[in-house]
Amino acid sequence: MLLLYCTGIFARQPVRPFPQHSHYFAGTITPAHISQAQLDNAVRTFYLSWKRRFVKNVPGKAENYIWFENKGGKQCVSEGQGYGMIILALMAGYDPLAKDTFDNLFRYYRAHPSGRSKYLMAWAQNTRGKDLDRTSASDGDMDIAFSLLLAAKQWGNTGAINYLGEAKLMINAIMKYEVNHKTGSVLLSDGIEAESKDYFAMRSSDFMPSHFKAFKQATHDARWNKVIDAGYRIFSNMQAVYSPDAGLLPDFIININKIPKPAGAYFLEGRYDGQYNYNACRVPWRIAADYLLTGDKRARNITTKINSWIRETTNNNTYNLSAGYTLAGNDIKGRYFEALSFVAPFGVSAMVNGKNQAWLNHVWDYLTAFKQRDYDYYDNSIKLLNMLIMSGNYWQ
């Protein structure tokens, strides 16, 4: 079954701020214990505070960036730039300044190219606005490219920026430099080459099948089918072999050219690289989005296993959620605290089946009860993106 693309309250044709909804994602659920007006108002309120805090201007330039809060000496990372550009494109029906802000975010991205392609973004800038190095981060590039497709639908392509043309250039660069053409898996960055030790490794959260379907539609490049099929095959195998009860994916997967397996500790980022940690926590959102937008049953199968486990392990109580799990589904010791980047994606994954209605309602209430000031750019940006989906305001 192919699901309807949700036009959402913020969609163009026509752009209207918070009109009465006529439908959501067909065949799926949204929080049902409060009114649509309350859902929309929660999105609007949180968006305004998110924008005030995290959208920053480069002094003297028509450039904006999503603030990384100077953590680790970083002003901005491409991951955040992608989040911000998607959010602005989706919010244009409400925010009359969204286009100008989006264009400034675009100009910042183009002002910081990677070393291999001017259409990919250097992954991080320091507090003086200088690139830390000239390599990319695949997830940031893929979100920026998707945001340009949204912008093309939202504003057209006859203005100062040809959004669709820019999206195609970026998508082609992603295919050339950030995809492993032997396995179809997504590379960690454009700095990974065939002789690199990490050539057959991937970050689980870089698999964004609904993005890839949009990329194929925009460029007519059938190679995206291989990327989609490879990702689903890897994920299904990893669930069956390493997480048969919980259905969880690790932050990093290695050995993709042979028998995929979780990365070991300190593979790239830290002790929990082979567990369900701060990268993999985005997987339920990224995979569920594909079912919500396209009806891909592979996405529903993957998220159904995760939904069953999380509801059982928490006893349907959101206050039992932890910030990290082993692939066996056990809490990572010492991680019994609230992390919105873990909470929100469980809400999106719940949307694939009406049996999860009460759980989805609980997740929404729990998620929206936390104040923005108590969390950082990562938690707050993922919270907002997932609120847009859960409230029925996401579209392809």
DSSP-assigned letters across all residues of 312-379:
HHHTT-GGG--S-B-TTSPBPTT--S--HHHHHHHHHHHTT-GGGHHHHHHHHHHHHHS-GGGS-HHH
Q: Evaluate whether 263 touches 242 at the Cβ level (below 8 Å).
A: no
Neighbours of 211 (CB within 10 A): 28
Q: Which residues contact 369 (CB under 8 A, 6 or more apart)?
A: none
Q: To 10 degrees, what angle do helices 78-90 and 138-155 make?
A: 20
Write down the H helix ranges in 24-117. Answer: 36-54, 78-90, 98-111
Question: What's the confidence (pLDDT) of residue 28?
Answer: 82
Query: What residue spans define the domains of the chain?
Result: 36-390
Task: Give the tokens for residue 15.
Answer: 């752009």
- Per-residue pLDDT 10s for the chain (396 aa) are 223 334 343 334 534 334 444 444 656 899 999 999 999 999 999 999 999 999 999 999 999 999 999 999 999 999 999 999 999 999 999 999 999 999 999 999 999 999 999 999 999 999 999 999 999 999 999 999 999 999 999 999 999 999 999 999 999 999 999 999 999 999 999 999 999 999 999 999 999 999 999 999 999 999 999 999 999 999 999 999 999 999 999 999 999 999 999 999 999 999 999 999 999 999 999 999 999 999 999 999 999 999 999 999 999 999 999 999 999 999 999 888 889 999 999 999 999 999 999 999 999 999 999 999 999 999 999 999 999 999 999 987
DSSP-assigned letters across all residues of 1-39:
-PPPPP--TT-TTTT-SSPPP---STT-----SS-HHHH
Query: Given CA atoms 334, 339, 342, 348 in this order, what sign does their dihedral have?
Result: positive
Q: How many residues does the chain have?
A: 396
> Would residue 251 show up in a list of annotated catalytic residues for this protein?
no
> What three-state secondary structure class fits 215?
helix
Q: How far is CA 392 from CA 46, 90, 348, 384, in A?
A: 16, 11, 10, 13
Q: Evaluate whether 1 touches 296 at the Cβ level (below 8 Å).
A: no
**Set 40, 63, 103, 139: catalytic member:** 139
Question: What's the confidence (pLDDT) of residue 27?
Answer: 65
**Set 79, 166, 178, 290: catalytic member:** 79
Question: What's the confidence (pLDDT) of residue 336?
Answer: 84
> Would residue 79 show up in a list of annotated catalytic residues for this protein?
yes
Question: What's the confidence (pLDDT) of residue 347?
Answer: 98
CATH T-level assignment (fold) for domain 36-390? Glycosyltransferase (1.50.10)
For the whole model, what pTM was predicted? 0.95
> What three-state secondary structure class fits 217?
helix
Question: What's the confidence (pLDDT) of residue 181?
Answer: 97
Q: Evaluate whether 231 touches 184 at the Cβ level (below 8 Å).
A: yes
Q: Which residues contact 316 (CB under 8 A, 6 or more apart)?
A: 358, 359, 362
> How far apart (Å, rounded) are the C-alpha atoms in residues 373 and 376?
8
Q: Which residues contact 97 (CB under 8 A, 6 or more apart)?
A: none
